[in-house]
Amino acid sequence: MLMLRSIAVRLIMGLTDEEKYFFDLLGFAILRDVLPAEQVARCNEAIDEHAHLLAPHERRLEGDSRTLTSPVRQHWMSGLLGWERPWCEPFRDLLVHPRIDPYLKELQGDGYRINQGPEIVTMEKGCAGHYLHGGGVERPDFTQTYRYNHGRMYCGMTVVEFMLADEGPGDGGVAIVPGGHKSNYPIPQSFSYYEEHQELVQEIHVKAGDAVIFTEACTHGTLPWNASHQRRTLIYRYTPGSIAFGKDGVGAYPQAVIDDLTETQRAVMRPAGS
């Protein structure tokens, strides 16, 4: 009961001054115990049921990096919201989450919307990573940029990763350059490829059920996966209600799927500017 009351207060009051400070400073936040074990299990069960749909990503996400490359490819899967019931339900439930909602409202305003996703990413032991990308000057338009004006933060695309497996020290996985969203010079290629200055890159350590939220403008990527268990992460990408980045993912779903959502869920599944 105390936890529910705390969540209700957060929804009304928004982020604390401390939470605002650290997100502005770092460009990301780690939220612990966002999903209970039962919800993690439901997500993983649904993914197992549709594992045959996982496919290698169409791009070599490590680029020409010597340190991030591997013949083992990342596998991605989308379309989760359109799966038959009950498999779609745990992913629909995450569209508007009480622990994530205060961050998105603070960063993008009350009318935030999902731009792309959700997508599942899996990595097996030895899997290749993703080169570091992002940073102030790499994001020249508001669809991906980060700004602070008139006493508040403004973010374009903001990414939420819900972790469905542990990512511990030395495992690899999601990695972020703290403060990278404020850089004013292009990222050096050797740094982007994780070949130099590796000490500046923070490997994010999380448990299944945790979530990581970051501005797309913050320099980030994925380190090669070293753990014996499969990496699983859910990616939801949000933008302010008036803009879209790239191909708007909302249009990928037929109207029947949209109509089957709750009113709250439909509110974030609308086209940009609607």
Per-residue pLDDT of the chain (274 residues; tens, 9 = 90+): 434 444 444 444 689 999 999 999 999 999 999 999 999 999 999 999 999 999 999 889 999 999 999 999 999 999 999 999 999 999 999 999 999 999 999 999 999 999 988 999 999 999 999 999 988 765 566 678 898 988 999 998 999 999 999 999 999 999 999 999 999 888 999 999 999 999 999 999 999 999 999 999 999 999 999 999 999 999 999 999 888 776 666 777 889 999 999 999 999 998 887 7
Structure confidence at residue 249 (pLDDT): 63
Q: Which two tokens stand for residue 46?
A: 């649904």
User: How far apart are the C-alpha atoms of 6 and 3, rounded to whole Å?
Assistant: 5
Structure confidence at residue 245 (pLDDT): 77
Structure confidence at residue 225 (pLDDT): 99
Q: Is 5 exposed, middle or buried (0-12, 13-18, 19+ CB in 10 A)?
A: exposed
8: CB partners within 8 A, 6+ apart: none
Structure confidence at residue 139 (pLDDT): 56
User: How far apart are the C-alpha atoms of 176 and 205, rounded to whole Å?
Assistant: 11
Q: What CATH code would you report for 2-268?
A: 2.60.120.620
User: How far apart are the C-alpha atoms of 129 and 63, rounded to whole Å?
Assistant: 9
Domain boundaries, the chain: 2-268
Contact of 187 with 139, CB cutoff 8 Å: no
Residue type, 159: V
Angle at Cα 47 formed by Cα 46 and Cα 48, nearest 5°? Answer: 90
Quote the pTM value: 0.92
Structure confidence at residue 99 (pLDDT): 97
User: How far apart are the C-alpha atoms of 171 and 240, rounded to whole Å?
Assistant: 33
